[in-house]
Amino acid sequence: MAIKSLRKRLGLLILLPVGLLLFLVGFFGFVYMRGTLFDEWQDASIMKLQRAAHQIDMRLSRVIGWVQMFHKTAETRGGPLIQQWILKQLRDLEGVTRAELKWKDNRPEPMAMPMRMGGPATDGPRMMRFHGARSFDVTPPHYDAHTGQETVELISGLKDESGSLVGTLEISVSFDYLLEGIKAFGWWQTDQGCLIDDHGRYLAHTEAIMKGRKRFGGTDDPFELALLKAISEKPFGAVLGPGKPPDQVGGFYRLKYAPWTIVLFAPGEEVLSPIIRFRNYYFAGGALAILLILLMIRSVVGRMVRSFTVISDAAGEVAKGNYGPPIPENSKDEIGQLTQSFNTMVEGLKERDFVTNTFGRYVDPEIAEKLMKLPEASRLGGERREVAILMSDIRGFTPLSERLNPDAVISFLNRYFSRLIDVIQKHQGIIVDFFGDGVLVFFDPLDGPAGPVIHKCVACALEMQKAIAGFNAEMRKNQLPEFATGIGVNAGEVVVGNIGSETRAKYGIVGSPVNVTHRIQSTAKGGEVVISESVYRQVSEYVHIRRSFVMSLKGVKGEVNLYVVDEIKSPASPDLL
């Protein structure tokens, strides 16, 4: 029953993510492709509308060009003759059904004034002159009884010097001639399109649009109203109708020379038909894939579930700290590799826990690896050997800590010790313990002579003072209290090994040299490194001594020589490196 339950749960754990992934990929893919298709339709429709608008604008621009040329003759010598010639050219233009110049007092158009070589024009019919013209207006198409067709009027007012209207230039253009450009496009017959003015009135439309309607948006359709709003704000663009996917999509483009806009729109399903078909195929394929996965789970998952159960139970024991024997590796496939990896992981955890419990977190990995090879590292007890010992302490920290809040004290100490730990690990020192604001470190020669590690210990102490100086510079910059640290260095024979019990042991040192180191450290002023006579004998030729002094130390018979070290050189002998 347990295996069957795990099979069901594993099936759900596999099917649910796969199903969710398929759904999310399909959903977001559909949304992305839907947006892409809409963008492509919008770009294509605007390009179609732009070409159609260009066709109408191009035909209007031929007429407008002559009208603008007529305006420029207002103050030109010989203007009447040029105006007559321009009117003739306008009447001869393709699509123009009428071109008239009407004066306000209903005078007929002026005749060409005869000119005389070398002198002024002869007397003849006087012309009504104008000073300037206003921009032309384009009227909606209307039926012209004289021509029997729909025409569009281009009307431009003519003004005198005072700005009063003195006449108009009126030009009638066949509306069918203007629409020839867009009727030549196939989409005008097959798609839904229309030509409307600024008030939404239909000027032309395809058969797909409802017949009998006079105004675009007259039915208060939200989509048509949104299109009208967009038309009033932008020269061209596209609008999506309500719904997801939208019921309709539309594009528009405003003409340059007339207050008209060409509109093209289509049903949303028609635009999305390729992606809708893909969506249906995708989800059908996804359902088939889930069914196949379910069958595979039922056929092959039994052995996997049993292996997972064994690994799961073993993992539970590891979580409790019971590592137990390795899991048997019964196959060479992925399950066997997983079992092998689990066993390797457990062995690594055992070793890591042993290193952490025995040597603490502040031992350089390279030193920890060497210590693990020693017989005494894996058992309680130890052996006697000479080591170098370093102890540091912050001067005046107790009164400082009493003035600061506890959080600030811990924050400062953590930042301070992080600097020291980096230096100690760099020199391969072994941190025994932190006590308040002090730290105890020793340098173990292992199976070698004590001289090299004593040199490393002194070099480490000097570099620690440099690190503390950098720390104080940072504190000073932030207007925070600075630390003055005294460091003592000693060398002597101690017991090195695991101290504690079978359940909890720590690699450390015990012996009177540790206490002597503490006494030496107490003699150091802030920023000083004080070394003992035993240390000095080993490094005398490499160090620079700032001063020396003789002092009685508690627990030590007689007076001892102590030395304040400023600098240490690298040993010349390769054995000391």
Per-residue model confidence as pLDDT tens digits over 380-417 = 557 889 999 999 999 988 887 888 888 888 888 999 99
pLDDT at residue 178 above 50? yes
Model pLDDT, residue 455: 95
| Residues 524 and 553 occupy one common structural domain | yes
Query: Angle 568-574-577 (CA atoms, 0-180°, nearest 5)?
Result: 45
Model pLDDT, residue 401: 80
274 vs 311, which has greater pLDDT?
311
The answer to whether 167 touches 101, Cβ cutoff 8 Å, is yes
| Residues 506 and 388 occupy one common structural domain | yes
User: Within a domain: residue 59?
Assistant: no
357 vs 321, which has greater pLDDT?
321
User: Within a domain: residue 410?
Assistant: yes
Model pLDDT, residue 184: 67
31-60 pLDDT per residue, tens: 666 667 667 767 777 787 788 878 888 888
pLDDT at residue 121 above 70? no
Q: How far apart are the first and last CA of the chain?
A: 66
Model pLDDT, residue 377: 55
Model pLDDT, residue 133: 66
The least confident of 35-44, 90-99, 203-212, 470-479 is 203-212
Give how far Cα 438 sits from Cα of 404, 448, 487, 521, Å: 18, 28, 9, 10
The answer to whether 359 touches 371, Cβ cutoff 8 Å, is yes
Confidence of residue 292 (pLDDT cuts 50, 70, 90): confident
Residues 6+ apart with CB under 8 A from 477: none
Model pLDDT, residue 107: 52
Residues 6+ apart with CB under 8 A from 388: 442, 443, 450, 453, 454, 456, 457, 458, 489, 490, 491, 535
284 vs 485, which has greater pLDDT?
485
Model pLDDT, residue 110: 47
| Residues 374 and 412 occupy one common structural domain | yes
pLDDT at residue 352 above 50? yes
Confidence of residue 114 (pLDDT cuts 50, 70, 90): very low
Model pLDDT, residue 242: 81
Model pLDDT, residue 95: 85
| Residues 229 and 324 occupy one common structural domain | no
210 vs 316, which has greater pLDDT?
316
pLDDT at residue 445 above 70? yes
- Locate the DSSP E strands across 114-247: 132-133, 137-138, 142-144, 149-159, 165-174, 192-197, 202-205, 236-240
| Residues 349 and 407 occupy one common structural domain | no
Model pLDDT, residue 369: 61
| Residues 387 and 489 occupy one common structural domain | yes
- Locate the DSSP E strands across 355-399: 381-395
CATH code of residue 525:
3.30.70.1230
Q: What is the enclosing helix (H) or strand (E) of 374?
A: none
User: Within a domain: residue 121?
Assistant: no
| Residues 340 and 428 occupy one common structural domain | no
| Residues 480 and 533 occupy one common structural domain | yes
- Locate the DSSP E strands across 511-577: 529-531, 543-552, 559-568
The answer to whether 464 touches 420, Cβ cutoff 8 Å, is yes
Report the distance separating Cα 61 and Cα 53, nearest Å.
12
Mean pLDDT of 425-445: 90
Model pLDDT, residue 453: 94
240 vs 350, which has greater pLDDT?
240
Model pLDDT, residue 550: 93
End position of a domain, from candidates 236, 269, 302: 269
The answer to whether 326 touches 340, Cβ cutoff 8 Å, is no
| Residues 322 and 219 occupy one common structural domain | no
Model pLDDT, residue 37: 67
The answer to whether 562 touches 547, Cβ cutoff 8 Å, is no
User: Within a domain: residue 6?
Assistant: no
Model pLDDT, residue 354: 56
Closest CA relative to residue 7, chosen from 221, 291, 211, 304: 304
User: Within a domain: residue 116?
Assistant: no
**Residue for token pair 């603008």:** 68
Determine the length of the chain.
577
Confidence of residue 276 (pLDDT cuts 50, 70, 90): low
Q: Percent of the chain, pLDDT > 70?
A: 72
| Cα 263 to chain centroid, rounded | 39
Report the distance separating Cα 327 and Cα 339, nearest Å.
7
Report the distance separating Cα 477 and Cα 76, nearest Å.
82
End position of a domain, from candidates 306, 330, 357: 357
User: Within a domain: residue 189?
Assistant: yes
| Structural domain containing residue 343 | 318-357
Domain count, the chain: 3
pLDDT at residue 26 above 50? yes
User: Within a domain: residue 82?
Assistant: no
The answer to whether 492 touches 509, Cβ cutoff 8 Å, is no
Structural tokens at position 145: 């009884």
End position of a domain, from candidates 254, 269, 284: 269
Mean pLDDT over each residue of the chain, to the nearest integer: 78
pLDDT at residue 365 above 90? no
Residues 6+ apart with CB under 8 A from 352: none
Model pLDDT, residue 241: 80
Residues 6+ apart with CB under 8 A from 473: none
| Residues 425 and 539 occupy one common structural domain | yes
| Residues 419 and 454 occupy one common structural domain | yes
Model pLDDT, residue 118: 40
Model pLDDT, residue 462: 96
Model pLDDT, residue 565: 96
Mean pLDDT of 116-123: 39
User: Within a domain: residue 126?
Assistant: no
| Residues 327 and 372 occupy one common structural domain | no
- Report the SS3 class of residue 142: strand
Structural tokens at position 548: 């020396």
Q: What is the pTM of this model?
A: 0.42
Model pLDDT, residue 378: 53
The least confident of 323-337, 427-441, 447-461 is 323-337
pLDDT at residue 93 above 70? yes
